[in-house]
């Protein structure tokens, strides 16, 4: 029982925000690519596959992150009690868990078409090299955005079996969404990170964070508008976009306070709701436009 509790802690299964932020781009890509006039059975099946895959890959990624960062984590107040950093779980056992989760995720992946399987396999190195980025560059959040939103392309190709400008535009914008919310998240650890020499966009833009967030979210919002244009959605789409607009610009940026870790965490977690909002809008428009 104790080992199971440690496994849950290691994989962050009690913190769904991580795998939901991985899942929502998959759901967006699937929804904008799906033809609902053909029924919803395949849509629901694929949605469940992406949900399970998101949990599995995020859990495996957390383990690799904890193994790679175990020395740093032991020196940071928020992370020093993690199972690997506190030596409650050995590196060897942690890596065994990660491999096992990846094998199960591979079983999920092979339910899709060959093109999607190939794209999914190509993304694997991205998922496991992210922890190294914060050692060498101030842009690990950008790398995370490239990785975390890759599922948007998989969602599209699982239906269309090819890429086009539509998912690529949205993918590009979604990278900036992640760049924004993970910069906010990074302000929780900024003091410790500076002391131990880790890098982040939170540190790079600590003197003008709201301007940086504004730029990130504008880029993402423009990509949403471009997606609507490319999909030839009617005017209702742009009216509905006012809801996520208010959330990004009048809630997240306005409420943000780099010196308040609790506020930063609250804003970061609110992106789960934001992901749901965008998914719901695409779902409505694809069914009723």
The domain spans of the chain are 2-288
- For residue 86, what pLDDT is reported? 83
Does domain 2-288 fall under CATH 1.10.3720.10? My reply is: no
Residue 17: CB atoms within 10 A of its CB come to: 18
**Three-state SS at 45:** helix
Q: How far is CA 76 from the centre of its chain?
A: 23
259 Cβ neighbours under 8 A, 6+ residues apart: none
Between the alpha carbon of residue 199 and those of residues 5, 87, 184, 273, the distances in Å are 31, 25, 14, 28
pTM of the model: 0.94
- For residue 289, what pLDDT is reported? 63
Query: In terms of Cα–Cα distance, which of 1, 103, 109, 113 is closest to 59?
Result: 103
Per-residue pLDDT of the chain (289 residues; tens, 9 = 90+): 788 888 888 899 999 999 999 999 999 999 999 999 888 999 999 999 999 999 999 999 889 888 887 877 777 777 778 888 888 888 999 999 999 999 999 999 999 999 999 999 998 887 777 777 888 899 999 999 999 999 999 999 999 999 999 999 999 999 999 999 999 999 998 887 787 788 899 999 999 999 999 999 999 999 999 999 999 999 999 999 999 999 999 999 999 999 999 999 999 999 999 999 999 999 999 987 6
d(CA 145, CA 192): 23
């Amino acid at each position: 029982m104790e080992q199971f509790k440690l496994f849950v802690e290691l994989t962050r299964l009690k913190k769904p925000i991580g795998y939901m932020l991985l899942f929502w781009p998959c759901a967006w890509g699937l929804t904008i690519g799906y033809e609902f006039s053909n029924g919803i059975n395949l849509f629901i099946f694929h949605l469940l596959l992406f949900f399970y895959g998101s949990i599995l890959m995020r859990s495996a990624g957390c383990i690799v992150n904890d193994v790679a960062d175990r020395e740093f984590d032991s020196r940071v107040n928020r992370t020093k009690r993690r199972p690997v950093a506190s030596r409650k779980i050995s590196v060897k056992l942690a890596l065994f868990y990660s491999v096992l989760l990846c094998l199960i995720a591979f079983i999920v992946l092979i339910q899709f078409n060959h093109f999607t399987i190939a794209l999914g396999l190509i993304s694997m190195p991205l998922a496991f090299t992210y922890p190294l980025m914060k050692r060498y560059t101030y842009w690990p959040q950008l790398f995370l955005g490239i990785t975390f939103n890759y599922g948007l392309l998989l969602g599209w190709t699982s239906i269309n079996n090819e890429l086009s400008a539509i998912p690529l535009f949205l993918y590009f914008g979604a990278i900036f969404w992640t760049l924004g919310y993970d910069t906010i998240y990074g302000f929780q650890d900024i003091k410790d990170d500076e002391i131990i020499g880790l890098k982040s966009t939170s540190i790079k833009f600590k003197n003008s964070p709201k301007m940086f967030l504004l730029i990130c979210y504008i880029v993402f919002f423009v990509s949403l508008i471009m997606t609507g244009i490319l999909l030839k959605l009617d005017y209702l789409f742009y009216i509905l976009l006012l809801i996520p607009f208010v959330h990004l610009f009048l809630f997240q940026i306005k409420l943000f306070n780099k010196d308040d870790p609790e506020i930063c965490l609250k804003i970061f977690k609110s992106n789960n709701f934001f992901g749901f909002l965008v998914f719901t809008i695409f779902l409505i428009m694809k069914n009723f436009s």
